[in-house]
Amino acid sequence: MKAVRLLEYGGQLVFNDVPTPTIARDEVLVKIRSTAVNHLDLVEASGTARQILPIDLPWIPGHEFSGVVEQIGSDVAACAPGEAVFGTTSGMGAYAEYLAVKAAAIARKPSNLSFEEAASVPVAAQTAWQGIFTHGHLEKGQTILIHGGAGAVGAYAVQLASHAGATVIATASGDDEAYLNSIGASRVIDYREAQFEKVLREKVDVVFNLIRGDTQKRSFLVLKEGGYLVSATQPVSQEESAMHRVSGVMMRLAPSGGLLGRIGRLLEEGTIRPDVATVYPLQEAAEAWQDIAANLPGVHGVSPTGPGAPRHKKHGKIVLRVS
Ligand SMILES: NC(=O)c1ccc[n+]([C@@H]2O[C@H](COP(=O)([O-])OP(=O)(O)OC[C@H]3O[C@@H](n4cnc5c(N)ncnc54)[C@H](OP(=O)(O)O)[C@@H]3O)[C@@H](O)[C@H]2O)c1
């Protein structure tokens, strides 16, 4: 099969032939239709975090996918060949024509979503769900501040929190205000113009941080006692959490086919919606990586843009079309 691989840390992505995977008894073989790009792919490939995020080289990137079940292991009862599915990977990567994956990590593809849309969902939507509900314990009537609300994860967090009956405040670029209001944010603070801790009058119950840098440290100032600071990007100081009498946690996505199935039903009934920014063919994965790196300049060695400089303006995920 064709696949995109990284041969060495920091190296170029190569597109060539590799053996098609075989499956274990609890796995399914999926013919991939689309996969999506995550910041994590670039971090893993760079080798900068190899102590905590090691990869086996040569490595096929890709943490999420949509596709059609080609073959099932002898212990698998939950799905059948020919079924359209989406999910997260559980070992090898999804920048490839076929993927062997645990049956427990997949769910039925929502029928109203294209394969490209479905591939964009699993990582961002499950991260948002676990960030705000599992770790942030967000409840109806509470207020949540979401840093990076217009990003791929942030947009699901805004939609899910709003659907749960919370008041949603998001930090984002000012020109994302209308978009964020349309998906459920009641207030948007332009991070380029204002410091959120100076303009927020009321304290919030939960902060969900999707940004690196000092945003996280400043978030302690706006949290109610007993509140939750959940970060998807960097460790949370336990000393500062104790000092401010809040709970602080750095989350790491724990994917689950069961949760993805619940999210799939919300997508199918139109309660939340996916967003695809750009679709590249699989063999253009390197261009897709340059594209996503521009979203969080500074994080992937891309220079931050100066004031007034043009910037990436599309919302949603960057998707690779495989077949
Ligand atoms: N822990 C986990 O399990 C987990 C899982 C998934 C993702 N993540 C991490 O979560 C982060 C977000 O991922 P993503 O896929 O949502 O990224 P994304 O789609 O690239 O979105 C990034 C967003 O952040 C905005 N932004 C940049 N600086 C900001 C600031 N100072 N304040 C407010 N907004 C700001 C950008 O807006 P502008 O373009 O307008 O600046 C953009 O809308 C990444 O670091 C990713 O690695 C962690």
d(CA 143, CA 141): 7
Residue 307 pLDDT greater than 80, yes or no: no
More confident residue, 244 or 293: 244
What share of the chain has pLDDT > 90, as a percent? Answer: 91
Chain position carrying tokens 């253009």: 284
Nearest-atom index, ligand 1, CA of 153 = 16
Q: What is the whole-number distance in angstroms between the Cα of residue 236 and the centre of ligand 1?
A: 17
Q: Whose CA is nearest to atom 20 of ligand 1?
A: 295
- Average of per-residue pLDDT across 106-131: 98
d(CA 267, CA 130): 17
Q: Whose CA is nearest to atom 18 of ligand 1?
A: 151
Q: Whose CA is nearest to atom 43 of ligand 1?
A: 151
What is the per-residue pLDDT for 7? 97
294 — pLDDT class (breaks 50, 70, 90) = confident
Residue of 318, 163, 164, 244 whose CA lies nearest to 229: 244
Q: What is the whole-number distance in angstroms between the Cα of residue 46 and the centre of ligand 1?
A: 18
Work out whether strand 27-37 and strand 98-102 pair parallel, antiparallel, or are unpaired. Answer: antiparallel
Cβ < 6 Å from ligand 1: which residues?
39-40, 123-124, 127, 147-148, 150-154, 171-173, 191, 210-211, 215, 232-233, 251-253, 295-296, 311-312
Q: What is the whole-number distance in angstroms between the Cα of residue 119 and the centre of ligand 1?
A: 18
Which regions of 83-209 does DSSP assign to beta strands (E)? 84-88, 98-102, 106-108, 143-147, 167-172, 187-190, 204-209
Summarised one tens digit per residue, pLDDT across range 136-168 is 999 999 999 999 999 999 999 999 999 999 999
Residue 134 pLDDT greater than 70, yes or no: yes
Summarised one tens digit per residue, pLDDT across range 40-55 is 999 999 999 999 999 9
What is the per-residue pLDDT for 244? 98
- Average of per-residue pLDDT across 222-235: 98
What is the per-residue pLDDT for 62? 98
Summarised one tens digit per residue, pLDDT across range 158-214 is 999 999 999 999 999 999 999 999 999 999 999 999 999 999 999 999 999 999 999
Q: What is the whole-number distance in angstroms between the Cα of residue 174 and the centre of ligand 1?
A: 15
Instruction: Produce one character per residue of 235-255: b if its CB has 16 or more CB atoms within 10 Å, e if not.
Output: ebeeeebeebebbbbebebeb
What is the per-residue pLDDT for 304? 59
Whole-model pTM?
0.96
| Main-chain phi, psi angles of 321, to 5 degrees | -85, 125
Mean pLDDT (the chain, rounded): 95
Residue among 296, 312, 313, 319 to mutate when testing ligand 1 (max atoms within 8 A of CB): 296
Residue 88 pLDDT greater than 90, yes or no: yes
Q: What is the whole-number distance in angstroms between the Cα of residue 148 and the centre of ligand 1?
A: 5
Residue 308 pLDDT greater than 80, yes or no: no
Residue 312 pLDDT greater than 60, yes or no: no
Nearest-atom index, ligand 1, CA of 317 = 19
Residue of 84, 156, 91 whose CA lies nearest to 120: 156
314 — pLDDT class (breaks 50, 70, 90) = confident
Which uninterrupted H or E stretch holds 263? Answer: helix 257-268
What share of the chain has pLDDT > 70, as a percent? Answer: 95
- 10 Å Cβ neighbour count for 74? 9
